[in-house]
Amino acid sequence: MSFLGEILCRKAAEVEERRRKTSERELITRASDLPPPRSLAEALSPRGGPVRVVAEVKRASPSAGEIAAALDAPAQAARYAAGGAAAVSILTDGPGFGGALEDLAGARRQVALPLLRKDFVIDRYQLLEARVAGADAALLIAAALSEDGLAGLVEDCAALQLTPLVEVHDEWEVEAALAAGAQVVGVNNRNLKTMKVDLSVSERLLPMLPETVKAVAESGVRTAEDVRRLRAAGAANFLVGEALVRAADPAALLKELMEA
Protein backbone atom coordinates (compact mmCIF):
# COMPACT_ATOMS: atom_id res chain seq x y z
CA MET A 1 0.00 0.00 0.00
CA SER A 2 1.20 3.56 -0.70
CA PHE A 3 2.38 5.90 2.07
CA LEU A 4 -0.77 8.01 1.72
CA GLY A 5 -2.99 4.91 1.52
CA GLU A 6 -1.60 3.66 4.84
CA ILE A 7 -2.20 7.02 6.50
CA LEU A 8 -5.77 7.14 5.21
CA CYS A 9 -6.53 3.64 6.57
CA ARG A 10 -5.13 4.63 9.95
CA LYS A 11 -7.12 7.88 9.82
CA ALA A 12 -10.41 6.08 9.08
CA ALA A 13 -9.89 3.84 12.13
CA GLU A 14 -8.90 6.85 14.24
CA VAL A 15 -12.01 8.81 13.27
CA GLU A 16 -14.29 5.87 14.14
CA GLU A 17 -12.59 5.51 17.52
CA ARG A 18 -13.02 9.23 18.25
CA ARG A 19 -16.64 9.16 17.10
CA ARG A 20 -17.31 6.38 19.62
CA LYS A 21 -15.99 8.60 22.42
CA THR A 22 -17.70 11.85 21.37
CA SER A 23 -20.74 11.65 19.14
CA GLU A 24 -21.16 13.82 16.05
CA ARG A 25 -24.37 15.17 17.62
CA GLU A 26 -22.41 16.35 20.69
CA LEU A 27 -19.93 18.18 18.45
CA ILE A 28 -22.75 19.79 16.46
CA THR A 29 -24.28 21.09 19.71
CA ARG A 30 -20.93 22.50 20.85
CA ALA A 31 -20.21 24.06 17.45
CA SER A 32 -23.60 25.80 17.43
CA ASP A 33 -22.59 27.91 20.48
CA LEU A 34 -19.37 29.22 18.94
CA PRO A 35 -18.71 32.67 17.46
CA PRO A 36 -18.08 32.72 13.69
CA PRO A 37 -14.55 31.78 12.61
CA ARG A 38 -12.02 34.23 11.16
CA SER A 39 -11.53 34.19 7.39
CA LEU A 40 -8.28 32.60 6.23
CA ALA A 41 -8.94 33.88 2.70
CA GLU A 42 -9.06 37.48 3.92
CA ALA A 43 -5.83 37.03 5.86
CA LEU A 44 -4.00 36.00 2.68
CA SER A 45 -2.48 38.19 -0.01
CA PRO A 46 -3.82 38.48 -3.56
CA ARG A 47 -1.50 37.52 -6.44
CA GLY A 48 1.37 40.01 -6.58
CA GLY A 49 0.51 41.34 -3.10
CA PRO A 50 2.80 41.56 -0.08
CA VAL A 51 4.32 38.34 1.26
CA ARG A 52 2.19 36.65 3.90
CA VAL A 53 3.26 33.60 5.87
CA VAL A 54 1.12 30.83 7.30
CA ALA A 55 3.44 29.63 10.04
CA GLU A 56 3.25 25.98 11.03
CA VAL A 57 3.55 24.23 14.38
CA LYS A 58 5.24 20.91 13.55
CA ARG A 59 7.02 18.64 16.06
CA ALA A 60 7.95 15.88 13.63
CA SER A 61 7.27 14.72 10.10
CA PRO A 62 7.51 11.58 7.99
CA SER A 63 10.28 13.18 5.90
CA ALA A 64 12.38 14.75 8.69
CA GLY A 65 11.59 12.51 11.69
CA GLU A 66 11.78 14.38 14.96
CA ILE A 67 12.05 18.17 14.58
CA ALA A 68 11.19 19.54 18.03
CA ALA A 69 9.49 16.88 20.16
CA ALA A 70 8.96 19.14 23.18
CA LEU A 71 7.64 22.11 21.21
CA ASP A 72 4.99 24.03 23.19
CA ALA A 73 2.34 24.59 20.49
CA PRO A 74 0.48 27.56 22.05
CA ALA A 75 3.78 29.32 22.88
CA GLN A 76 5.09 28.75 19.34
CA ALA A 77 1.81 30.06 17.89
CA ALA A 78 2.17 33.17 20.06
CA ARG A 79 5.76 33.65 18.75
CA TYR A 80 4.44 33.45 15.19
CA ALA A 81 1.68 35.97 15.93
CA ALA A 82 4.17 38.37 17.50
CA GLY A 83 6.43 37.94 14.46
CA GLY A 84 3.73 38.99 12.00
CA ALA A 85 2.44 35.67 10.62
CA ALA A 86 -0.84 35.97 8.71
CA ALA A 87 -2.19 32.69 10.10
CA VAL A 88 -1.02 29.62 12.00
CA SER A 89 -1.15 26.02 10.80
CA ILE A 90 -1.33 23.36 13.50
CA LEU A 91 -0.55 19.75 12.60
CA THR A 92 -2.99 17.67 14.61
CA ASP A 93 -1.93 14.21 13.39
CA GLY A 94 -0.25 12.27 16.20
CA PRO A 95 1.66 9.32 14.71
CA GLY A 96 3.18 11.19 11.74
CA PHE A 97 3.69 14.67 13.14
CA GLY A 98 3.56 14.48 16.96
CA GLY A 99 0.51 16.75 16.99
CA ALA A 100 -2.88 16.67 18.67
CA LEU A 101 -6.19 18.48 18.53
CA GLU A 102 -5.33 19.88 21.98
CA ASP A 103 -2.49 21.84 20.33
CA LEU A 104 -5.08 23.64 18.27
CA ALA A 105 -7.33 24.34 21.26
CA GLY A 106 -4.29 25.63 23.19
CA ALA A 107 -3.19 27.88 20.32
CA ARG A 108 -6.76 29.23 20.05
CA ARG A 109 -6.50 30.47 23.63
CA GLN A 110 -3.21 32.26 22.82
CA VAL A 111 -3.67 33.89 19.41
CA ALA A 112 -6.36 35.76 17.51
CA LEU A 113 -5.00 34.85 14.05
CA PRO A 114 -6.82 32.41 11.75
CA LEU A 115 -5.88 28.83 12.69
CA LEU A 116 -5.68 26.01 10.17
CA ARG A 117 -6.25 22.39 11.19
CA LYS A 118 -3.60 20.48 9.24
CA ASP A 119 -4.45 16.80 9.13
CA PHE A 120 -5.60 14.13 6.74
CA VAL A 121 -9.28 15.08 6.63
CA ILE A 122 -11.52 12.39 5.18
CA ASP A 123 -14.73 12.87 7.16
CA ARG A 124 -17.02 15.74 8.21
CA TYR A 125 -16.48 14.60 11.80
CA GLN A 126 -12.90 15.96 11.66
CA LEU A 127 -14.23 19.33 10.48
CA LEU A 128 -16.61 19.46 13.42
CA GLU A 129 -13.73 18.60 15.75
CA ALA A 130 -11.67 21.36 14.14
CA ARG A 131 -14.45 23.94 14.57
CA VAL A 132 -15.02 22.97 18.21
CA ALA A 133 -11.28 23.16 18.94
CA GLY A 134 -11.21 26.72 17.56
CA ALA A 135 -10.00 26.26 13.99
CA ASP A 136 -10.97 28.77 11.30
CA ALA A 137 -9.80 26.67 8.37
CA ALA A 138 -9.09 23.05 7.50
CA LEU A 139 -6.72 21.40 5.06
CA LEU A 140 -8.28 19.17 2.40
CA ILE A 141 -5.72 17.14 0.46
CA ALA A 142 -6.99 16.50 -3.08
CA ALA A 143 -4.78 13.39 -3.41
CA ALA A 144 -6.51 11.87 -0.38
CA LEU A 145 -10.06 12.29 -1.68
CA SER A 146 -12.22 11.38 -4.65
CA GLU A 147 -13.57 14.35 -6.65
CA ASP A 148 -16.99 13.89 -5.04
CA GLY A 149 -15.45 13.43 -1.62
CA LEU A 150 -13.48 16.67 -2.01
CA ALA A 151 -16.53 18.61 -3.24
CA GLY A 152 -18.60 17.24 -0.33
CA LEU A 153 -16.03 18.28 2.28
CA VAL A 154 -15.72 21.75 0.69
CA GLU A 155 -19.50 22.07 1.17
CA ASP A 156 -19.26 20.78 4.74
CA CYS A 157 -16.61 23.44 5.44
CA ALA A 158 -18.95 26.12 4.09
CA ALA A 159 -21.79 24.88 6.33
CA LEU A 160 -19.46 25.16 9.33
CA GLN A 161 -18.04 28.51 8.12
CA LEU A 162 -14.55 26.98 7.94
CA THR A 163 -12.28 28.02 5.07
CA PRO A 164 -11.08 24.93 3.18
CA LEU A 165 -7.45 25.10 2.06
CA VAL A 166 -7.39 22.60 -0.79
CA GLU A 167 -3.94 21.16 -1.34
CA VAL A 168 -2.79 20.08 -4.80
CA HIS A 169 0.30 18.41 -6.24
CA ASP A 170 -0.40 18.26 -9.98
CA GLU A 171 -2.52 19.62 -12.83
CA TRP A 172 -5.38 17.12 -12.29
CA GLU A 173 -5.67 18.06 -8.64
CA VAL A 174 -5.74 21.77 -9.58
CA GLU A 175 -8.73 21.00 -11.83
CA ALA A 176 -10.43 19.02 -9.05
CA ALA A 177 -9.85 21.82 -6.51
CA LEU A 178 -11.32 24.44 -8.82
CA ALA A 179 -14.25 22.19 -9.77
CA ALA A 180 -14.97 21.76 -6.04
CA GLY A 181 -15.17 25.55 -5.71
CA ALA A 182 -12.01 26.05 -3.63
CA GLN A 183 -11.21 29.71 -2.98
CA VAL A 184 -7.93 28.96 -1.22
CA VAL A 185 -5.57 26.51 -2.92
CA GLY A 186 -2.22 25.33 -1.59
CA VAL A 187 0.38 23.98 -4.02
CA ASN A 188 2.45 21.46 -2.10
CA ASN A 189 6.04 21.18 -3.30
CA ARG A 190 6.50 17.91 -1.40
CA ASN A 191 5.86 14.76 -3.39
CA LEU A 192 3.83 12.49 -1.12
CA LYS A 193 5.33 9.35 -2.70
CA THR A 194 9.03 10.24 -2.55
CA MET A 195 8.87 12.98 0.16
CA LYS A 196 11.20 15.03 -2.05
CA VAL A 197 10.64 18.78 -2.16
CA ASP A 198 10.79 20.57 -5.50
CA LEU A 199 9.90 24.27 -5.67
CA SER A 200 9.36 23.98 -9.41
CA VAL A 201 5.98 22.34 -8.63
CA SER A 202 4.74 25.76 -7.42
CA GLU A 203 6.33 27.43 -10.44
CA ARG A 204 4.40 25.08 -12.72
CA LEU A 205 1.00 25.04 -10.99
CA LEU A 206 0.55 28.52 -9.51
CA PRO A 207 0.00 30.15 -12.92
CA MET A 208 -2.95 27.75 -13.49
CA LEU A 209 -4.93 29.33 -10.64
CA PRO A 210 -7.37 32.16 -11.40
CA GLU A 211 -6.58 35.51 -9.75
CA THR A 212 -9.75 35.25 -7.65
CA VAL A 213 -8.28 32.24 -5.83
CA LYS A 214 -5.88 32.84 -2.93
CA ALA A 215 -2.84 30.67 -3.63
CA VAL A 216 -0.38 29.35 -1.06
CA ALA A 217 3.02 27.81 -1.82
CA GLU A 218 3.58 24.99 0.66
CA SER A 219 6.62 23.01 1.82
CA GLY A 220 10.34 23.41 1.35
CA VAL A 221 10.36 27.19 1.76
CA ARG A 222 13.28 27.96 4.06
CA THR A 223 14.97 31.17 3.00
CA ALA A 224 14.34 34.63 1.57
CA GLU A 225 15.91 33.29 -1.62
CA ASP A 226 13.17 30.59 -1.85
CA VAL A 227 10.51 33.29 -1.37
CA ARG A 228 12.04 35.50 -4.08
CA ARG A 229 12.14 32.55 -6.47
CA LEU A 230 8.47 31.69 -5.95
CA ARG A 231 7.35 35.32 -5.99
CA ALA A 232 8.58 35.39 -9.56
CA ALA A 233 6.00 32.64 -10.25
CA GLY A 234 3.20 34.70 -8.66
CA ALA A 235 3.31 33.34 -5.11
CA ALA A 236 2.42 35.79 -2.36
CA ASN A 237 1.47 33.36 0.44
CA PHE A 238 3.83 30.77 1.89
CA LEU A 239 3.16 27.94 4.31
CA VAL A 240 6.36 27.39 6.28
CA GLY A 241 6.90 24.71 8.92
CA GLU A 242 10.25 23.09 9.56
CA ALA A 243 12.41 26.16 8.94
CA LEU A 244 10.41 28.23 11.46
CA VAL A 245 10.34 25.48 14.08
CA ARG A 246 14.12 25.00 13.78
CA ALA A 247 14.84 28.75 13.76
CA ALA A 248 16.48 30.10 16.94
CA ASP A 249 14.42 33.26 16.43
CA PRO A 250 11.22 32.49 14.45
CA ALA A 251 10.17 36.17 14.43
CA ALA A 252 13.48 37.14 12.79
CA LEU A 253 13.05 34.47 10.10
CA LEU A 254 9.44 35.56 9.52
CA LYS A 255 10.63 39.13 9.04
CA GLU A 256 13.31 38.00 6.56
CA LEU A 257 10.74 36.00 4.55
CA MET A 258 8.16 38.79 4.58
CA GLU A 259 10.73 41.34 3.39
CA ALA A 260 12.16 39.14 0.64
Least distance from C-beta 148 to ligand LARABZUK, angstroms? 23
Contacts of 81 (CB under 8 A, 6+ apart): 88, 110, 111, 112, 113
Distances (CA, A) of 88 to 13, 38, 104, 198: 27, 12, 10, 23
Least distance from C-beta 29 to ligand LARABZUK, angstroms? 31
Q: 14 vs 56, which CB is nearer to ligand LARABZUK?
A: 56
Q: 27 vs 184, which CB is nearer to ligand LARABZUK?
A: 184
Least distance from C-beta 132 to ligand LARABZUK, angstroms? 23
End-to-end CA distance of the chain: 41
Q: 27 vs 218, which CB is nearer to ligand LARABZUK?
A: 218
Residues that bind ligand LARABZUK (CB under 6 A): 56, 58, 61-63, 188, 190, 192, 195, 218-221, 239-243
Degrees to nearest 5, angle at CA 181 with 179 and 184: 120
Nearest to 173 by CA among 149, 198, 137, 197: 149
Least distance from C-beta 222 to ligand LARABZUK, angstroms? 7
The 8-class DSSP code of residue 207 comes to G
Q: 54 vs 154, which CB is nearer to ligand LARABZUK?
A: 54
Q: 27 vs 59, which CB is nearer to ligand LARABZUK?
A: 59
Nearest to 219 by CA among 180, 184, 187: 187
Least distance from C-beta 143 to ligand LARABZUK, angstroms? 10
Cα separation, 174 vs 110, whole angstroms: 34
The 8-class DSSP code of residue 48 comes to T
Q: 22 vs 63, which CB is nearer to ligand LARABZUK?
A: 63
> Are residues 130 and 98 in contact, defined by beta-carbon separation less than 8 angstroms?
no
**Alpha helical stretches, state H, the chain:** 3-21, 24-32, 40-43, 73-82, 94-97, 101-110, 124-133, 147-159, 171-179, 200-205, 224-231, 242-246, 250-258
| 163 backbone dihedrals φ, ψ, rounded to 5° | -85, 120
Q: 27 vs 173, which CB is nearer to ligand LARABZUK?
A: 173
Least distance from C-beta 243 to ligand LARABZUK, angstroms? 6
Q: Which position's Cβ is nearest ligand LARABZUK?
A: 241
Least distance from C-beta 156 to ligand LARABZUK, angstroms? 21
